[in-house]
């Protein structure tokens, strides 16, 4: 059994910050950071911004702190490793490979993960949730094959991704169930201005529209909406594309997601 003074679970920026915090107060205690992703903690928030837009982005540029930092501060790291069991009474955590870590103190920094909307077709192979570096690469790859993209959702991430994809010169549609973008954050007047701004920059908007489901056997063939209408422009695109190979991705956080046809 492995014994550690500190066990940090979650290889996101929260986990990395916890390691930094521990080292500020305890220079010697043994620390293990366990993260499910194969990458060390990185700036996840760049994924929908520069990382998406850059032609040849390198994950190393996103790392925070650098890989060398863990070595310098003697933090043992186990990336690509999931903690499957956690028992606070016995102070034990079990890793997916069966190893057990006994700890004095633990920090749970497991963040969040995208929630799948309760509609049909969310597991189609070409539906991608934008959360990790891998998702961002999958989206970039998809964007090289497909010219039309449908973003569903009108929150921060949806707006950011739509703007980035538009800057990549892709045709972008955006479907949102409210009447203006960022409705949870800004007033109607500003929201209406923002919505018009997106339209002016070539995003085909379908406001007041909700997702009903995705059609397709293994890949996305069609998007069903509550009103039954796809945005005219994007709808035609979908129909066209449905006769050939189509790609899609979805980013979903609470009630937002993004689709690439």
Ligand X SMILES: Cc1cc2nc3c(=O)[nH]c(=O)nc-3n(C[C@H](O)[C@H](O)[C@H](O)COP(=O)(O)OP(=O)(O)OC[C@H]3O[C@@H](n4cnc5c(N)ncnc54)[C@H](O)[C@@H]3O)c2cc1C
- Positive or negative: CA dihedral 130, 136, 141, 143: positive
176 in contact with ligand X (CB under 6 A) = no
256 in contact with ligand X (CB under 6 A) = no
Q: N- to C-terminal Cα distance for the chain?
A: 49
In the complex, minimum distance from the CB of residue 79 to ligand X, in angstroms, rounded to a whole number: 9
Q: Which of 2, 5, 14, 242 binds ligand X (CB under 6 A)?
A: 14
3-class SS string, 97-124: CCCEEEEEEEEECCCCCCCCCCCECCCC
Assess contact for 119 and 223: CB atoms under 8 A.
no
Choose between 198 and 230: whose C-beta lies nearer to ligand X: 198
In the complex, minimum distance from the CB of residue 22 to ligand X, in angstroms, rounded to a whole number: 15
Q: How many residues bind ligand X (CB under 6 A)?
A: 24
Q: Which of 29, 59, 65, 111 binds ligand X (CB under 6 A)?
A: 111
Assess contact for 24 and 49: CB atoms under 8 A.
no
Choose between 35 and 154: whose C-beta lies nearer to ligand X: 35
DSSP-derived secondary structure letter, 14: H
Choose between 131 and 221: whose C-beta lies nearer to ligand X: 131
59 in contact with ligand X (CB under 6 A) = no
Bridge partners of residue 203, in order along the sequence: 172
94 in contact with ligand X (CB under 6 A) = no
Assess contact for 253 and 157: CB atoms under 8 A.
yes
Choose between 132 and 195: whose C-beta lies nearer to ligand X: 132
Choose between 110 and 219: whose C-beta lies nearer to ligand X: 110
User: Could you tell me the CA-to-CA distances from 174 to 5, 147, 159, 209, 260 in Å, in that order?
Assistant: 49, 14, 9, 10, 10
Residues that bind ligand X in the complex, under the rule CB under 6 A:
9-15, 34-37, 44-45, 47-48, 82-83, 109-112, 130-131, 157
């Amino acid at each position: 059994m492995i014994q550690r003074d500190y066990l940090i679970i979650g290889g996101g920026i929260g986990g990395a910050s916890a390691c930094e915090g521990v080292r500020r107060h305890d220079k010697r205690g043994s620390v293990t950071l366990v993260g499910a992703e194969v990458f060390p903690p990185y700036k996840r928030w760049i994924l929908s911004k520069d990382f998406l837009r850059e032609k040849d982005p390198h994950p190393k540029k996103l790392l925070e702190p650098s890989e060398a930092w863990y070595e310098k501060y003697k933090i043992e790291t186990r990336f690509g490793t999931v903690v499957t069991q956690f028992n606070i009474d016995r102070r034990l955590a079990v890793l997916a490979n069966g190893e057990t870590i006994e700890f004095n103190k633990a920090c749970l920094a497991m963040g969040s993960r995208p929630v799948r909307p309760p509609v049909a077709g969310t597991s189609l192979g070409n539906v991608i949730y934008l959360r990790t570096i891998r998702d961002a690469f999958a989206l970039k790859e998809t964007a090289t094959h497909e010219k039309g993209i449908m973003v569903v959702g009108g929150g921060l991430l949806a707006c950011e991704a739509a703007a980035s994809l538009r800057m990549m010169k892709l045709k972008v549609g955006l479907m949102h169930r409210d009447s203006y973008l960022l409705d949870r954050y800004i007033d109607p007047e500003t929201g209406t201005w923002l919505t018009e701004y997106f339209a002016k920059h070539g995003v085909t908007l379908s406001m007041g529209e909700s997702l009903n489901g995705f059609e397709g056997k293994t890949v996305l063939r069609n998007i069903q909406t509550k009103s039954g209408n796809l945005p005219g422009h994007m709808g035609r695109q979908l129909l066209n594309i449905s006769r050939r190979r189509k790609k899609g991705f979805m980013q979903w956080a609470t009630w937002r997601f993004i689709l690439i046809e």
